[in-house]
Amino acid sequence: VVGSNCGAPSSGYLTDLYVLALEDILYTQEPPTDSETASIWPTNTATVFRLPLRVKTATYSENSQEAEGGLSYAVNLSTFYHAVNNAQITDWAQEQGQKRFVALFRTTTGDFFLAGDQEHGLKLNVARSATEKHLISLSLTGSVPHRLWRLESVDPTVLFDIVDFSPTDFSSTDFSQ
């Protein structure tokens, strides 16, 4: 068929991305088996941030590597925004300071994952570029001693009943580009 998008969607793209600061997490529980899901318990005052994503702008990777304590996994989640005035994005990132995060994300194939745990957080990185339509890139990177854990959902209203859900609402970001 002319103009059709052949093949299955790539699981490397993200459709939903939420982050919680490590300081807002009481406990994460490893799934008992690979076919079961992990659990995460936030504090009563935790804030879940939703990062808005456009189609095919957010990706993840998980790569095994040898470490002193054995095998570990390098995790990288990244997205970018076209924004002439990207002050809201950079201000939000700066407010987060040197915090470490866990990320809850959904792939285009419908898988739900938790990246990081209460002891191994991901670092928020920000980069700007004036050369390509004023891009700003956000990434979460870190090394964890286990593979990404599956979740039953990434919807905060499904996973948590006591947290403040805070969309990041980068209204200065023009998502039409």
Determine the distance from the C-alpha atom of residue 4 to the mean position of all C-alpha atoms in its chain, rounded to a whole number: 30
Q: Are 47 and 166 in contact (CB under 8 A)?
A: yes
Q: How many helices (H) and strands (E) does the chain have?
A: 2, 12
- Please tell me what DSSP assigns to residue 78: E
Q: What is the pLDDT of residues 102-123, one digit of tens each?
A: 999 999 999 999 999 999 999 9
Closest CA to 124 of 107, 137, 106, 105: 137
How far apart are alpha carbons 13 and 143 in whole angstroms?
20
Angle at 48 between CA 26 and CA 118, to 5 degrees: 30
Q: What is the pLDDT of residues 9-28, one digit of tens each?
A: 556 799 999 999 999 999 99
How far apart are alpha carbons 20 and 26 in whole angstroms?
11
Q: Is the pLDDT of residue 3 over 90?
A: no
Q: What is the pLDDT of residues 23-78, one digit of tens each?
A: 999 999 999 887 899 999 998 888 888 888 888 999 999 999 997 878 999 999 99
Q: What is the pTM of this model?
A: 0.84
Structure tokens at 138: 């956000």
Task: Give the three-class secondary structure for 26.
Answer: strand
Q: Which residue has the higher pLDDT, 95 or 77?
A: 77
- Please tell me what DSSP assigns to residue 171: T
Q: How many other C-beta atoms are found inside a 10 Å radius of the C-beta of residue 91?
A: 12
Task: Give the three-class secondary structure for 72.
Answer: strand
Q: Residues 13, 92, 94, 47: what is their CA dihedral angle, to the nearest 10 degrees?
A: -90
Q: Are 42 and 117 in contact (CB under 8 A)?
A: no
How far apart are alpha carbons 22 and 120 in whole angstroms?
9
- Mean pLDDT confidence for 127-132: 72
